[in-house]
Structure 1
């Protein structure tokens, strides 16, 4: 499996609009421009969300296929990862279909969302992705999600060095802001289960930079961008996604 990028940008997410930040990319041409700028700033991967004609969250295998092809042509050295996030609109069969039929080789998926279906169906999906060489980065919002992953994932995939995880910090805090030490419980969970995955962190709010620096110190990779935070560590509003990439890149470099 292809390894996770060291510094992935998540430029838009599923829910935000230009009312949240005027530089938030929503159309594919805007995403392409953002991808170029973020690649030049030091990002080596992009977490891709698409929108429908009305600006709403879209999971569509055909639209993803076209977008991934365009991004591969425009930023050929940048890893492209699609999302299967439900956002209350999509059910697990649709999420699985998108993951398997979009042509993307890197997919982000929440274990708690997919496990709305039965364990054997979800386990079969993960097995099929592995057989097709599709790398699933499992989104874990808390330790309970990790335990659910251990219960659901076939042991060969769970204990593989190809296992990809994303630890989400701060999403369900009252103000959505993260704390670097939110990561500690995930690190303890890894130790308890003797897992050595390819892992990354995303972190919400003004503490995004501090949280990603802490993750990098512990050997993790980082996902930065407007999906999770639109401000710098000092509270200043970021001009664009590339500026956030530079801020985190430099903070990690000088830690």
Structure 2
């Protein structure tokens, strides 16, 4: 569990995932612009989130890793939420699968003042080029969250010998009925291999709430937000990220 979260809440850490790769219009409250991300982050923090994860966008609403768009989003969120840990994605799809374009974009963050760089960035072990990207982020002073989607990803992470800020056990796709067993398989493999770092467990869509509950049972950090799910645990529509965080916090208390 995240030590800062324990100090603030004495309970499970919740990271708010504000928008992901959803398209503008997928939800009325989906934040896209820096100001919208900042307001969503402020509301999520007030609702009980301990950190925020976001996918900054360009002027057209498309995800971007450009220093211009990363810096603008991080700066605006920090102004609204001083001291709130801010993270971003480095998903390879953002550069259309182009490994070198992704690396060049992230290396461009060196142009940003340190205060305008994210505190951490997620790096998916299933994606080509993750090791070089990891080293680039560390040189920039940006913490790495290792995105582990499978047992194979756990093996890949162990093989690197690299340490990370947090291991994201992300159960993506598949049946909700098997989400818990798949999560336990990944967690067990990480433990067997002695991979260091706190774990954060979460899922998307149907498994999202199942895995929030499972994280609570296991004493692990978790995350929730419009990136992962658009409805409450009983299937009702939600107003936005803050409501999702409040619902998750209530289930974990």
TM-score, normalised relative to structure 1 = 0.83
Structure 1 residues 229 and 244, CA, compared in 2 at 3 Å: closer, same or farther? Answer: same
Q: Look up the SS of the partner of 1:57 in the other structure.
A: coil
Aligned to 1:221: 221
1:68 aligns with 2:74: yes
Mapped to 1, the partners of 2:4 and 2:98 lie a distance apart of 26
Q: Deviations over 1:178-228 (max 9, x none)?
A: 733331111211222022422212211244223112113223211111111
Task: Name stretches of at least 5 consecutive residues in structure 1 with no aligned partner.
Answer: none
What is the deviation of 1:3? 6.5
Report the aligned-residue RMSD. 2.4
Q: Could you tell me how far apart the structure 2 residues matched to 1:107 and 1:164 are?
A: 10
Partner of 1:11: 18
Say which of 157, 163, 166 aligns to 1:164: 166
Provide closer, same or farther for how the CA distance between residues 109 and 123 of structure 1 changes in structure 2, counting only shifts above 3 A. Answer: closer
Across the two proteins, how many residue pairs are aligned to each other?
237
C-alpha contact (below 8 Å) 1:178/1:203 kept by paired residues = no
The answer (yes or no) to whether the contact 1:109–1:139 under 8 Å persists in 2 is: yes
Q: Which residue is equivalent to 1:173? A: 174
Q: TM-score, normalised by structure 2?
A: 0.84
Deviation at 1:96, TM superposition (A): 2.7
- 3-state SS, counterpart of residue 15 of structure 1: coil
Which whole-Å deviations, capped at 9, do the CAs of 1:10-49 have from their partners, x for residues lacking one? Answer: 111113331x211111122111111111111011211111
Segment of structure 1 superposing worse, 238-247 or 217-226: 217-226
Secondary structure of 2:92's aligned partner: coil
**Contact 1:200–1:220 under 8 Å retained in 2:** yes
Segment of structure 1 superposing worse, 85-94 or 236-245: 85-94
State the shift of 1:125 in Å. Answer: 4.2
The residue number in structure 1 matching 2:36 is: 30
Q: Which residue of the partner structure matches residue 113 of structure 2?
A: none
Output the CA distance in 1 between the equivalents of 2:177 and 2:61.
25
Aligned to 1:141: 149
Is 1:107 aligned to 2:114, yes or no?
A: no
Query: Does structure 1 conserve the Cα–Cα contact (< 8 Å) formed by 2:38 and 2:77?
Result: yes
Match of 2:200 in 1: 200
Alpha-carbon distance in 1 for matches of 2:216, 2:103: 31
Q: Which has the higher helix share?
A: 2
2:211, 2:243 → 1: CA distance? 17
Q: Deviations over 1:40-80 (max 9, x none)?
A: 10112111112222222222122111221121111013110
